[in-house]
Amino acid sequence: MADPDLVAEPLWPARHRGEHRQRFLRVWDLLAGAAAEVVALVLPVECVCCGKEDLALCPGCERRLRMLTRHPFRAETGSPALMDTDGSVILPVVAAGIYREELSQSILAFKRHGQGQLRSVLSKILAGALAAAYSGTDRMVLVPVPTSAGAYRKRGFSPVHLLLAGAPWSVSSRHPDYLDALCKVRNPRTGNSLGGQKGLGRGDRSRRVRGSMRSARGARGRALRGRQCIIVDDVLTTGATLAEAARAIHEAGGIVRGAVVLAATRPPDAAAVPAQSRQSGDRLGAS
């Protein structure tokens, strides 16, 4: 799993989707297209990436989004909270892609509005990253990072939970367990529950999230005990949120094997970091 910013782009042949052979599938495509046109007339929408009318994500931008996330990679080296002072990894993280272009625009638009089309595409991307992370491992449980009460009231949903609930799993792969076992609490250092962190520096982020999570009360919290866990979140920045989630899981008796995110931001000096090829032995949970 090499960092895509440090790997040359390969050449690939063009692939075009032809018509379905089965008649009922061709009819279904026609009906779906007609329904989309009717919806566009009643509720006009624009592509969240390029502004093209009629779709929340146009076919061209959706293809670009899939290309940006076709190779999940290890991303913890760009997050100081996840690396020790000697350069060793505290918490390994697999990211579906780099937080830029169509991927960042789609994530932001989904978190603000939760459009169905964006949820479907991002859920598939998250499922692909999860499959790359825990492939070859057994008995893993997925633990989503909880959203704050304020963010939930504002949006009406938790983005990570919604994406996990809609993730399509391959028929050939084992469906992972999903445990909503963490919750946000009032931070004893700031007196507030964890809210938005946009614009905060590295130190401020770390101080704000420290002590802001715990395991859920009752059976959900106890279910973490002795389980091998993968934390799931949307965007990786400094790693402070994932580190706090890992602390809460460890405190509840769980065993954290790593984390998976939709996107990872890049530090300003990311280009200076040497490429490190990571093969199957570096999947989360591999020993």
Cα 155 to Cα 110, 148, 192, 213, distances in angstroms: 10, 11, 19, 20
Q: Are strands 93-98 and 73-74 parallel, antiparallel or unpaired?
A: antiparallel
Full-model pTM: 0.75
Q: What is the pLDDT of residue 19?
A: 46
Q: Looking at residues 171-189, what average pLDDT do you find?
A: 73
Q: Let me know: does 102 contact 125? Beta carbons within 8 Å.
A: no
At 250, phi and psi to the nearest 5?
-60, -40
Cα–Cα distances in angstroms (integers) from residue 6 to residues 2, 15, 67, 75, in the given order: 8, 26, 16, 12
Least confident piece of the model among 48-62, 185-199, 239-253? 185-199
Q: E-strand spans in 169-285?
A: 177-178, 182-184, 213-215, 228-236, 255-264
pLDDT (tens digit, 9 = 90+) per residue, 97-144?
999 999 999 999 999 887 888 999 999 999 999 998 887 666 789 999
Mean of pLDDT values over 146-170: 86
Better pLDDT: 256 or 168? 256
Q: Which residues pair with 134 in a beta bridge?
A: none
Task: Give the C-alpha separation, 73 to 93, whole Å.
Answer: 8
